[in-house]
Amino acid sequence: MSASGTTTGQVEHMLRQVTPGRYDAYEALLRALATPASGQVWMLLWHGQAGSPDAQYGNMEVGGHGYAPCVTSAQELSASGWNRSYEVVDGLEVARALYPDRHGLWLNPHAPGGGVGIPWLDLRRIVSGLDRQPAGPLRLSEPAIEIPQFYALLAQNAHRTPAVRALRRAWVQPALGAPYLAIGLDVYDTSPPAVDAVRAMMQQSVGAVPDGLPVSTVAMTDAHDPVALWLRANARPFYDREAHAPAPAQAPAGGYGYPPAGSRY
């Protein structure tokens, strides 16, 4: 397969723009990888041949996080000195395969500076839609803004919605874009009628939110959502049908679920 043309060139061009703190360039790289037929990568196979049942991606660990190494062109493959098999795959397909096991993707680890790592949370964003998930690393904390009327109305409406077990809250500051209030929904039932009832509960409550304050919801059952993961680990419910625990604990800020700030990606 040819390594020439705008396809691979675009990915490699975006890769060269990525430096620590350049989240805009990093997002552009993710978009290039997420575009079918234009985000191809050369996956290094530790075992087996391309297309064979025993084919197995390579594995590397950086900062305690697992990554599958790849290169971005046939030229980079040659420069890497890799002498085993490889497989040319769309970045979207690779993301689908890696993120459920919480493995990231590392581009051109042989390159000067060590290449660029894509954490599994961002592979999930590639699969789910980059515009549908906040750009990380995320800073999450207990909301400091005082909106007791909204919380009281939401808790009242939740109590009238049998599908709701508990509600949590977090203040989310993405790497790019405006911060927002996230409401974690812990529900007993995910049937269509229950989902409709929970949606109606939120619609009946958001009128008490001050103008200009973005509010989003997150399902607490999502085992791969970084906001849901943080909420489970750090935030007590402000509404709990069973335990009646209204006071949330103060939680530390941080780039939850991502490598330390000193890591390059």
Q: Provide the pLDDT for residue 251.
A: 46
Q: Provide the pLDDT for residue 133.
A: 86
Q: Provide the pLDDT for residue 3.
A: 34
Residue ranges and CATH numbers for the domains of the chain are 6-132 (3.40.1350.90), 139-240 (3.30.70)
**Joined tokens for residue 137:** 């690393």
The reported pTM is 0.76
Q: Phi/psi zone of residue 133: left (φ > 0), alpha (ψ -120 to 50 degrees), beta?
A: beta
Q: Provide the pLDDT for residue 10.
A: 78
Write out pLDDT tens, residues 187-199.
Answer: 999 999 999 999 9
Write out pLDDT tens, residues 131-151.
Answer: 888 887 889 999 999 999 999
Q: Provide the pLDDT for residue 124.
A: 93
As a whole number of angstroms, the distance between CA 157 and CA 87 comes to 52
Q: Provide the pLDDT for residue 139.
A: 93
Q: Provide the pLDDT for residue 52.
A: 76
Report how far apart the first and last C-alpha atoms of the chain are (Å, whole number): 27
Q: Provide the pLDDT for residue 265.
A: 40
Nearest CA-CA partner of 240 in 154, 172, 147, 146 = 154
As a whole number of angstroms, the distance between CA 103 and CA 244 comes to 38
Q: Provide the pLDDT for residue 245.
A: 45
Q: What are phi and psi of 217, to 5 degrees?
A: -120, 155
As a whole number of angstroms, the distance between CA 186 and CA 47 comes to 42
Q: Provide the pLDDT for residue 255.
A: 53
In this prediction, the residues of the chain whose per-residue pLDDT falls under 70 are: 1-9, 244-265
